[in-house]
């Protein structure tokens, strides 16, 4: 079987095209994909390195902030925090010269935050009650006032009565 020159040229061209396609798809394309993946990996690592370098330069301010907020971290004993809060509230009431009734509520825990609620009934002179509330908000704790209701005491014209619900938050380490 003899091929004419035109058929030989077409066969040679077809062989060259098939060879080029095989070379590209089995060698060049995998190498190109691998090179692209290496570039992407290098860029990701460079971004991580830059982020870590930023954290290293911010380390003094992070340590300073941690020192400032470390007092809000819960101590090792879990039941210690609610009891100490109640003791602080009673001492605060004695210093402010107000009558205090405490009604602790069950606490709850979400992720790393423990919540302890207590309902307070406070009665005293206007200045004493305001001093109590002012000192309460200055306690070195994370405290949220959920509800506050002020009213005059019915039998005492110079006295005020406050009913409030406090929520003490503690962060777990």
> In terms of domains, do 101 and 166 share one?
yes
In a domain, residue 160? The reply is yes
> In terms of domains, do 151 and 81 share one?
yes
Q: How many domains, in total, are found in the chain?
A: 2
Q: What is residue 109's predicted lDDT score, i.e. its pLDDT?
A: 80
Quote the mean pLDDT of the chain: 86
Q: In terms of Cα–Cα distance, which of 162, 145, 157 is closest to 98? A: 162
Q: What is residue 134's predicted lDDT score, i.e. its pLDDT?
A: 93
Write down the pTM of the prediction.
Answer: 0.55
Residue 169 confidence class, pLDDT cut points 50, 70, 90: confident
What is the per-residue pLDDT across 68-80, written as a single tens digit (0 to 9) for each?
877 666 554 444 4
> In terms of domains, do 80 and 164 share one?
yes
Three-state SS sequence of 31-98: HHHHHHHHHHHHHHHHHHHHHHHHHHHCHHHHHHHHHHHHHHECCCCCCHHHHHHHHHHHHHHHHHCC
> In terms of domains, do 105 and 154 share one?
yes
In a domain, residue 108? The reply is yes
> In terms of domains, do 33 and 90 share one?
no
In a domain, residue 12? The reply is yes
Domain harbouring 92, CATH code:
3.30.70.60
Distance from C-alpha of 162 to C-alpha of 101, rounded to nearest angstrom: 11
For residue 147, give its domain range. 74-171
> In terms of domains, do 85 and 164 share one?
yes
> In terms of domains, do 121 and 78 share one?
yes
């Amino acid at each position: 079987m003899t091929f004419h020159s035109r058929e030989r040229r077409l066969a040679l061209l077809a062989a060259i095209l098939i060879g080029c396609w095989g070379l590209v798809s089995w060698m060049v394309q995998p190498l190109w994909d691998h090179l692209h993946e290496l570039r992407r990996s290098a860029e990701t690592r460079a971004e991580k390195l830059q982020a870590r370098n930023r954290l290293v330069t911010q380390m003094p301010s992070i340590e300073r902030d941690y020192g400032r907020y470390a007092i809000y971290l819960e101590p090792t004993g879990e039941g210690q925090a609610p009891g100490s809060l109640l003791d602080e509230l009673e001492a605060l009431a004695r210093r402010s010269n107000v009558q205090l009734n405490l009604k602790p509520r069950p606490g709850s825990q979400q992720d790393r935050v423990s919540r302890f609620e207590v309902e307070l009934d406070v009665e005293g002179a206007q200045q004493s009650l305001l001093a109590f509330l002012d000192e309460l908000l200055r306690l070195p704790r994370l405290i949220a006032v959920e509800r506050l209701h002020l009213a005059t005491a019915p039998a005492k014209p110079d006295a005020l009565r406050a009913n409030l619900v406090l929520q003490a938050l503690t962060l777990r380490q």
